[in-house]
A and B are shown apart, each in its own frame.
Chain A
Amino acid sequence: MADIAFLLIVFFMVTTTITVDRTPVELPTSLERTEVPKDAAVIAVTEDGAVHFSDGEEDSRLINMEDLLPSAAFIMSKNSLKFFLIKADGEAEYRYIDQVMEQLRQASVRNIAMLTQQEGTG
């Protein structure tokens, strides 16, 4: 029994990832999905337009939309190839995502991914 228990421990230890962002959002669905880097910065946008930001190392924190530009620019000054993940609620109005993209564009961000869940899983 202890063998099985340790096997399970090892499984959970290996599969557990420390997530920097725990903002609850209902992601949109897509058929096309590619793996994104694990150390990417995360921008979470909730349905009501609240923005949570994490640089990929520290836990995400609530920020104002206007503070996204300096935060993103600071990250880009250290690593110009940094990936930014947009983790936005599917029901959020596009205006919020538009604002996020505009800030990222101004911060000269190149690599962006929109997190989605597999279509068909609900």
Chain B
Amino acid sequence: MSWKLKKKKESPEIPTSSMADIAFLLIVFFMVTSVFSVTRGLEFQLPTDQPEEQNQTAEEATHIRIEPSGADCSYTIDNNPTNLRDINVYLQPILARNPNKFVIIDPLPEAPYKCMVNVFDELKQGDVKNISIPTQAEKDAWGSIM
């Protein structure tokens, strides 16, 4: 009687039973860690500090003032009260005469940022080429712009 065990012949293969587990673990990891980052917005370019580019005087520009009013804002264009949707109605005839017309956005410091973005968005849709958003320091340097 022979005690020698018969060696079972196994075909070589990679164990794949745990592969699905690992795969789902990785799926869960990526689902949890992935955030849909916002990569879109309103682009603009600041002017250079060369004085010849700042030759446009404030009187020649259209002036949009933004004041906080409750949860929203009130808008004044060239001293005429207006609402957001009428800004382009007012601007289009002016831009037809002078496409390079400067438009100054002048939000009060207390106004919410979203109102400035709303006006900027409106101007972009109206194809306004020259939009100026002077900072408080620039306004102080100019004196009162209106």
Contact = CB atoms under 8 A, between A and B. Distances in A.
Answer yes or no: are A and B bound together in one complex. Answer: yes
Interface residues of B, number: 46
Given A2-B23, A101-B133, A31 B121 contact: yes
Q: Chain A interface secondary structure, helix, strand, loop or mixed?
A: mixed
Determine the interface band of chain A, counting residues with CB < 8 A from chain B.
Answer: 35 or more
B46 A114 contact: no
Interface in B9-26: 16, 19-20, 23-24, 26
B34 A16 contact: yes
Contacts of A30: 41-42, 117-118, 120-121, 124
Contacts of B3: none
9 contacts: A1-B20, A2-B16, A19-B35, A28-B113, A31-B125, A93-B110, A98-B136, A102-B135, A105-B138
B33 A33 contact: no
A28 B110 contact: no
Given A12-B31, A28-B117, A32-B124, A94 B108 contact: yes
A91 B41 contact: no
Contact of A19 (B37, B108, B110): B37
B30 A12 contact: yes
B137 interface: yes
Nearest to B115: A94
List 8 A-B pairs, minimum CB-CB distance, nearest first.
A12-B30, A90-B114, A5-B23, A95-B109, A28-B114, A30-B121, A28-B117, A115-B41
B110 A22 contact: no
Q: Which of B20, B27, B115 has the most CB of A within 10 A?
A: B27
Interface string B30-57: 1101110111111111101100000000
